[in-house]
Amino acid sequence: MLKNILNVISLTLLISLVCAYAAGANEVKFDNQDFVLKATAQSLNVANALNEYFPKGESHEHWTKMIGVYHIPEEKDPIKYAEEIDKDIETAENCVLLKFVKNNKTDQAVISYLENGQENGQNFFTYNVYKYEKNPVKGITEFKYAVKYFFKNNDEIVKLAQTVKNENDKYMTMLISSPIPPIVEKELN
């Protein structure tokens, strides 16, 4: 009897959480931080569905952290697609692959890597984590978490590398276990 009551309570909480999550697709929470929807396919005038979320005060053009959800309808196999991305990362001069994990049972893959860049004369590394899985309608969905780490000298690079090394498994696990927010298609002001 107690087990049945606990199951009903758990199911009710899960349904409430899913409904709240779906209703709140204009804002998502990741790593205890709120991210606001700032870019959609309509607002960027691109074909494939996408949503990009940034912390309050940041934008698609200027950001330090972001969450991205992308629908890639022409791809069928998330693991094969991730393997192709892995090859691209490994051959790119400005990227360093950190980890590539694939799960054939769940048909998911997760990749993390660093990408070197420059913005307004400042050097930075973008730490990227991507999860790839089948889209319930068609194709695959790509779920991204990224952080920009700005640096001025080699000493700061060493510290950033240690930070990323210490946090990589945490963020990969968080992305794997996080439900992918539904894509919202609307014009943004």
CATH code of 156's domain: 3.40.1000
In a domain? residue 6: no
* Any domain includes 11: no
Query: For 59-75, what is the mean pLDDT?
Result: 94
Give the Cβ contact number of residue 9 at 10 Å: 10
Give the separation between CA 167 and CA 174, rounded to whole angstroms: 11
Query: What's the DSSP call for residue 24?
Result: T
Q: Given phi > 0 = left and psi -120 to 50 = alpha, else beta, which region is 109?
A: beta
Q: Mind listing the pLDDT tens digit for each residue in 23-42? A: 447 899 999 999 999 988 77
Residue 56 lies in a domain: yes
Q: What total of structural domains would you count in the chain?
A: 1
10 located within any domain: no
- Write out the H or E segment, with its range, that includes residue 7: helix 2-23
Would you say residue 74 has pLDDT above 50?
Answer: yes
pTM of this structure? 0.82
Domain hosting 163: range is 25-177
20 is a domain residue: no
Please indicate, yes or no, if residue 113 is contained in any of the structural domains.
yes
* pLDDT of residue 11 exceeding 60: no
- Residue-wise pLDDT tens digits, 83-107: 999 999 999 999 999 999 999 999 9
Q: Is residue 137 part of a domain?
A: yes
Q: What is the 3-state secondary structure (H, E, C) of 101-141?
A: EEECCCCEEEEEEEEEEEECCEEEEEEEEEEEEECCCCCEE
Residue 39 lies in a domain: yes
Q: Report the share of the chain in percent with pLDDT over 70.
A: 83
